[in-house]
Structure 1
Amino acid sequence: MKNKWLQITLSVLSLALAVTLVVYLPQIVQALTGKKVSWAEIGAEFSAMSPGMIALMTAVWLASLLAYTFVLTNSLPGLNNLQGLTLNAAGSAVSNLLPFGGAAGVALTFAMARSWGFANRPIVVMTLVSGVWNTLFRFVLPAVGIIALLMAGQVPNRTVASAGWAGALSILALVAVVAAALYWDRAAALLGRGLDALARLVRLKFSVSEALDRLRKDTAEIVRARWAGLSAGMIGFLGLQWLIMYCCMQATGAYPGLAQSIAVFALSRVLTAVVVTPSGAGLMEGGVVLLLTSAFGVDTAAATATALLFGFWTYTVEIPFGGLALGGWALLSKNRRTRRKSLETQP
């Protein structure tokens, strides 16, 4: 009971912090950048948007949700895209309301998938595989952002450029090593020995190689057979989310260039991993504004409006949409149970 009330308290505090960060975003922006911006100026940016742009944003957002369903359908054979969309929407709603919503999201995933006739084991595998693919691509994004800026010449000098290339390539190499270990036995054995050696240096009391081996055993069949579909789904999803960012920048006049927009998008996705607030809400917006204004010279009001718009399409709107998906699933499940009981009671 104490843990339950502690979780409720932390959730309420986390949501309150997220709301506070958004409400006081103009003051936070001024503290970070030294530039004043008001809600009236931000509102003017919103009111200038055309109906066509709003419709385009809506279409791209829906397409991004559909793209992610291919990650889920490739993780759980037999799952269809409508079911994947329902799982994604409902899980996102839970994650967006709770700072540590992963556990609740997994429980909800199990309940929904089991109601469609899937056994526990395939659901566990789906949760592991989709989680691993999300993590791998979350690591790739910073490297992509760095490389985009380097290729566009957005670095102050050669020393910084060299450091940027070294960092980006190191990140990509790390992701490649982990991906290879999930696919090839020999790569897994080599990585396991290396991780065990590192664990001994820092005096960890468990075998990292055994944990990696268990993960591989759980996911090997799906990874080997469906890695291309999983990767295509993630690339499509992230590409469409960047397109949402691009639309937000164009709508507010905050577009700083292709490479810069990729870097801003990469930062925004990294900040969503900060669980101080649900999905990094409030923190993501502040980081986007800071990068746009300080690094790329974008007008403060336009940058703030862009961050809030992007937060709406990747966070806020998912809550009511997920609530509708969850309500639809609950209603259909209830109807199925009612029909089943009715058939069981018939003579």
Structure 2
Amino acid sequence: MARRGTRLRTTGKALAALTLGAAVLWWLLPRTSGVSWSEVAHLIGGIAPHRLAGLAALWACGLLVHSFVLTGALPGLSRRRALTLSLTGSAVSNVAPMGGALGVALNCSMARTWRFRDRSFAAYLVVTNVWDVLAKLALPLVALVGLLTAGGLPTRGLRTGAIGASALLLVLVAVGVTVLRSDRMAAAVAGFVAVLVRRVLPRAGAERGNRLAEALLQTRQRIRAVVARTWPQLTLGMAGYLTSLAALMWACLHAAGAPVPVYAVLAGLAVERLLSLSPITPGGTGLAEAGTAGTLVALGASPLPVVAGVLLYRAFTFVLEIPVGGLWLGLWLLLRARTARTAGAPPGPAVRLPA
């Protein structure tokens, strides 16, 4: 009964989050672009099925490229299991604000069934998230270079964002490299965390703080070993994934009738990647679409095909991941239960998501 109540609460939160995201998108996008939903629906409905199939294939290729980042961050992870983590984690994360914690909980349960240690999975989380953040911060710089090379004049907001992201990127890289290379710096960071825990939890904080500091130092050693061995794969995989996303956005815009140059696509992708981190709605729904379309229109593109192209792009990179990832999760659970029955053993602990 308690498990059923937890599932109902989780489902209710997911539905409420999706409703909020849809409402923000429905209200915000027409007001920022001046384009009606009926015009957008008519344009997207006229795209030939074979072009949609090609876009879907391009989206699938991007997921395959991204799997190289995951296998590099967790040695021993197969390509199929990397795709399982990617799709199922995205499906869960895309249905709730701050849904990343739900996706992490699900992926952690999966990693345990594959006999990966929690310490290895913790290192995997840190490495993948660091490379993802660095990629999101590097994109505005790449977009700015593309605009300047093409002779375009970027807006003040894009210039400020690119400069700020570039400065933050350099700081993060410098801090990360220092912490990984310097035992003294790593010990200082761990000690600071321990002191912080003791102040927040004065009664039991000393013991917890010491355990956390020790765990951080152990995780740092694992991260250092992983990065030293697979950083070329991680970097090339992430660069390839961003390239596939840019190609997908360019193809979606062209399918909708918006011949946007490459440098403008990079600017739009930079804005979309940053706004997708917004905790207000799942995946930044509403904000990401409006911001991306606004950036492309500001760079000279026509509003109607741009809005249609951006919505088509988000349909592949956000919406489609929910049913595909949900189906993938269902098949994984079914195969897991069937394997357990064949082996004559119980299926093990069920995958539970936090309420």
Q: Scaled by the length of structure 2, what TM-score is found?
A: 0.80
How far apart, in 1, do the equivalents of 2:79 and 2:168 lie?
32
The 5 A counterparts of 1:250-265 are 250-265=254-269
2:349 aligns to what?
none
Conservation of the 8 A alpha-carbon contact between 1:140 and 1:175: no
The 5 A counterparts of 1:276-315 are 276-293=280-297, 295-315=298-318
Q: Scaled by the length of structure 1, what TM-score is found?
A: 0.82
Alignment size in residue pairs: 327
Query: Which residue of 112, 115, 119 maps to 1:114?
Result: 112
SS in 1 for 2:57: helix
Q: Deviations over 1:44-70 (max 9, x none)?
A: 321332333212211110011111111
How far apart, in 2, do the equivalents of 1:164 and 1:275 lie?
19
Corresponding letter in the other structure for 1:68: H
SS in 2 for 1:97: coil
1:181 aligns to what?
178
Corresponding letter in the other structure for 1:310: Y
Which runs of no fewer than 5 residues in structure 2 stay unpaired?
A: 193-199, 347-355
Q: More displaced, 121-130 or 325-334?
A: 121-130
Q: Deviations over 1:183-227 (max 9, x none)?
A: 5328x839979xx8xxxxxxx9999xx798666334111111111
Q: State whether structure 2 residue 338 is matched by structure 1 residue 335.
A: yes
Conservation of the 8 A alpha-carbon contact between 2:15 and 2:95: no
Q: 1:161–1:306: structure 2 CA closer, same or farther, 3 Å change rule?
A: closer
Query: Which residue of 93, 104, 126 maps to 2:102?
Result: 104
1:139 aligns to what?
137
Root mean square deviation of aligned Cα = 3.4
Q: Deviations over 1:288-322 (max 9, x none)?
A: 121222x1232221121012101101100000110
Q: Deviations over 1:3-28 (max 9, x none)?
A: x799777654432211112333xxx3
Query: Displacement, 1:328?
Result: 1.2
Corresponding letter in the other structure for 2:75: P
1:82 aligns to what?
80
1:201 aligns to what?
none
Conservation of the 8 A alpha-carbon contact between 2:254 and 2:260: no
The percentage of counterpart residues that share the same residue type is 32
Which runs of no fewer than 5 residues in structure 1 stay unpaired?
A: 197-203
Conservation of the 8 A alpha-carbon contact between 1:143 and 1:172: no
How far apart, in 1, do the equivalents of 2:83 and 2:66 lie?
8
Q: More displaced, 86-95 or 233-242?
A: 233-242
Moved over 6 A (4+): 4-9, 159-165, 190-193, 204-207
Conservation of the 8 A alpha-carbon contact between 2:141 and 2:163: no
Q: More displaced, 112-121 or 72-81?
A: 112-121
Corresponding letter in the other structure for 2:92: V
SS in 2 for 1:123: helix
